[in-house]
């Protein structure tokens, strides 16, 4: 028996070199609860200094562990970000540069955790266009999914649960925890749809935010002076691009079907409010407030459900054994630069919240090293004591979670956005961000923008716009150095421009999926969780 146990320990040490060889037994492996949201601006969490809302449960998570102050994404839209989350790879390596389907036959982190002895599950928004692989249980929204009475896909078909999607997703998370097998650690990806566009909050938070007034960002009326390459023609502005549907304006009662949809998708340039006709700057201000009320009410629903799941960890006695990580799939503009949405590499679109607490994580730390979403998959594997494959391009942040300061940590982050032509008329670009500067290259139009983030944190002054300024030795030297750095990062990550031309984008849609699955009808949360189990 003893010999057998020594053999098991030796095997475990051989398989999991991250474990301490001096330990008498393999360390108990932590559960990993990964909470993910869609489009949650870093500056819409109070632990990040939000001026517009309060998120007590996310703050509680941050206070109990680590809050990363320089956490970024590598391609700021939903589907590519989700493929990067799974693979630890840039879009050009994982085959998902735009809204094309992920090949579930590829190697990814959930498959590795499952093979490594974890009970794996994914709940909520998936948006990868193919059925999940590598999960013992999965119950995911088709495409974007619906806020109210959502349909979910499960291994045997599709089912519907009555209620609000954010609360249901939280309830499914609780049901997963209660019904988990007790003989192995779990890895749960709990993915909220909120606060994605559509912004349909639950009733309690809709009421709480109705009529609230929020401070405007300094750049709400940005004129894009010094930045003519892409911003003036973008179609994600508060002023011009929010639809009547986004603004929750009520269609005339006589409209139905196509006419009603057309009315809702129009972008109004004058609106009647309380008997007054609003236009111009006054209308922009009204649109901003109306958008923020619903967006932040959706964020509040997320925060409520983070609290619900953290409470369940406490009730189940799991808090000490479970690493909880919170982040989102891309940044978001809260009227900053006059925008909503994401995509652009300016700070609000590039930054994401990243919080973590749990065994081994130092309490109350704020690591400032630049980290990115390519690091998540390696981090999950490292925390589970599993090796990180060479094919993953990120690096485990576990040392940062312990409060260490690795001397060889990266100094710059590489970014590339492809979806052009695409939604919101956002020009394709790549770029590099260092602790002090940012270089953006709109490669299709041959334009560069350069910012000094120390003196110009809202990126209003492109140092390359004025030719005389661009020629000054200081600016010229920084520009040359960052162009070199951009090329170095492209080489390091093996970006061979394979998706630069839209003709090369891989096929497969991520929206409108699941229509051909057998309909299983209306289910309770418990019934739905039972239906999420994969065969074998
Ligand atoms: Ca998103």
pLDDT at 26: 55
pLDDT, tens digit, for every residue of 34-74?
999 999 999 999 999 999 999 999 999 999 999 999 999 99
CA–centroid distance, 355 to ligand 1, in Å, is 18
SS3 at position 510: coil
Phi, psi at residue 159, to the nearest 5°?
-140, 165
Q: How far apart are alpha carbons 128 and 506 in whole angstroms? A: 13
CA–centroid distance, 480 to ligand 1, in Å, is 33
CA–centroid distance, 144 to ligand 1, in Å, is 10
Give the number of other Cβ atoms within 10 Å of residue 244's Cβ.
17
CA–centroid distance, 32 to ligand 1, in Å, is 22
CA–centroid distance, 452 to ligand 1, in Å, is 27
CA–centroid distance, 352 to ligand 1, in Å, is 11
CA–centroid distance, 37 to ligand 1, in Å, is 8
pLDDT at 28: 83
Alpha helices in 226-331 (DSSP H): 238-241, 257-265, 280-315
CB 127 within 8 A of CB 143: yes
State CA 408 to chain mean position distance.
26
CA–centroid distance, 38 to ligand 1, in Å, is 4
CA–centroid distance, 340 to ligand 1, in Å, is 12
| Beta partners for residue 438, in sequence order | 433, 451
CA–centroid distance, 195 to ligand 1, in Å, is 9
CA–centroid distance, 14 to ligand 1, in Å, is 39
Domains of the chain by residue range: 2-202+302-411+518-531
Closest to 121 (Cα-Cα) out of 480, 534, 535: 534
CA–centroid distance, 182 to ligand 1, in Å, is 33
CA–centroid distance, 107 to ligand 1, in Å, is 23
CB 173 within 8 A of CB 135: no
Residue spans of the chain under pLDDT 50: 1-24
Give residue for tokens 């009647």: 272
pLDDT at 9: 41
pLDDT at 27: 65
CA–centroid distance, 137 to ligand 1, in Å, is 23
pTM of the model: 0.94
Alpha helices in 37-150 (DSSP H): 56-63, 78-87, 91-94, 109-115
| Longest CA–CA separation in the chain, Å | 85
CA–centroid distance, 460 to ligand 1, in Å, is 25
CB 145 within 8 A of CB 193: yes
Question: Which run of H or of E encompasses 11?
Answer: helix 2-15
CA–centroid distance, 146 to ligand 1, in Å, is 15
| Beta partners for residue 124, in sequence order | 140, 191
Q: How far apart are alpha carbons 188 and 331 in whole angstroms? A: 23
CA–centroid distance, 169 to ligand 1, in Å, is 17
> Among positive and negative, which fits the CA dihedral 482, 487, 493, 497?
positive
CA–centroid distance, 78 to ligand 1, in Å, is 4
pLDDT at 239: 98
CB 306 within 8 A of CB 58: yes
Record: fold of 2-202+302-411+518-531: Alkaline Phosphatase, subunit A (3.40.720)
CA–centroid distance, 331 to ligand 1, in Å, is 8
> Among positive and negative, which fits the CA dihedral 199, 204, 207, 212?
negative
């Amino acid at each position: 028996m003893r010999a057998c146990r020594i053999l098991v320990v030796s095997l475990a040490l051989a398989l999991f070199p991250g474990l301490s060889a001096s330990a008498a037994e393999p360390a108990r492996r932590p559960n990993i609860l990964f909470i993910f949201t869609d489009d949650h601006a870093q500056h819409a969490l109070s632990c990040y200094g939000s001026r517009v809302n309060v998120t007590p449960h996310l703050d509680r998570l941050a206070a109990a562990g680590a809050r990363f102050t320089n956490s970024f994404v590598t391609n700021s839209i939903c589907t590519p970000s989700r493929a990067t989350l799974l693979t630890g790879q840039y879009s050009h390596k994982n085959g998902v540069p735009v809204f094309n389907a992920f090949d579930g036959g590829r190697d990814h982190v959930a498959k590795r955790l499952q093979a490594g002895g974890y009970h794996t599950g994914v709940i909520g928004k998936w948006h990868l266009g193919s059925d999940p692989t590598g999960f013992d249980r999965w119950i995911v929204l088709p495409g974007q999914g619906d806020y109210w009475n959502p349909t979910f896909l499960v291994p045997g078909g599709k089912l519907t649960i009555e209620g609000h999607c954010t609360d249901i997703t939280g309830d499914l998370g609780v049901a997963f925890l209660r019904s988990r097998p007790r003989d192995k650690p779990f890895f749960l990806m709990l993915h909220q749809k909120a606060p994605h566009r559509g912004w349909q909050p639950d009733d309690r938070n809709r009421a709480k935010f109705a009529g609230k007034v929020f401070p405007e960002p300094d750049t709400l009326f940005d004129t894009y002076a010094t930045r003519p390459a892409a911003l003036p023609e973008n179609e994600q502005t508060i002023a011009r691009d929010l639809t009547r549907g986004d603004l929750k304006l009520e269609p005339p009662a006589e409209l139905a079907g196509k006419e009603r949809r057309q009315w809702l998708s129009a972008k109004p340039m004058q609106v009647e409010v309380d008997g007054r006709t609003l236009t111009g700057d006054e209308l922009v201000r009204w649109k901003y407030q109306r958008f923020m009320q619903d967006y932040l009410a959706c964020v509040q629903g997320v925060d409520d459900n983070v609290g619900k799941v953290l409470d369940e960890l406490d009730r189940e006695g799991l808090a000490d054994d479970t690493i909880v990580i919170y982040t989102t799939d891309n940044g978001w503009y809260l009227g900053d630069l006059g925008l909503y949405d994401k995509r652009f590499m300016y700070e609000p679109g590039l930054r994401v919240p990243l919080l973590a607490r749990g065994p081994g994580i130092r309490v109350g730390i704020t690591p400032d090293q630049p980290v990115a979403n390519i690091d998540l998959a390696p981090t999950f594997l490292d925390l589970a004591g599993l090796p990180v494959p060479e094919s993953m391009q990120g690096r485990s942040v576990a040392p940062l979670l312990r409060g260490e300061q690795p001397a060889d940590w990266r100094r710059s982050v590489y970014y590339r956005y492809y979806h052009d032509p695409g939604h919101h008329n956002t020009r394709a670009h790549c770029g590099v961000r260092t602790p002090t500067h940012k270089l953006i290259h709109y490669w299709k139009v041959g334009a560069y923008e350069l910012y000094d983030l120390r003196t110009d944190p809202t990126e209003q002054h492109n140092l390359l716009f004025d030719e005389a300024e661009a020629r000054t030795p200081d600016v010229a030297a920084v520009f040359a150095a960052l162009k070199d750095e951009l090329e170095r990062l492209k080489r390091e990550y093996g970006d061979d421009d394979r998706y630069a031309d839209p003709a090369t984008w891989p096929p497969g849609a991520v929206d409108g999926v699941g229509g051909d699955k057998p309909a299983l009808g209306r289910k309770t949360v418990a019934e739905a969780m039972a239906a999420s189990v994969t065969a074998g």
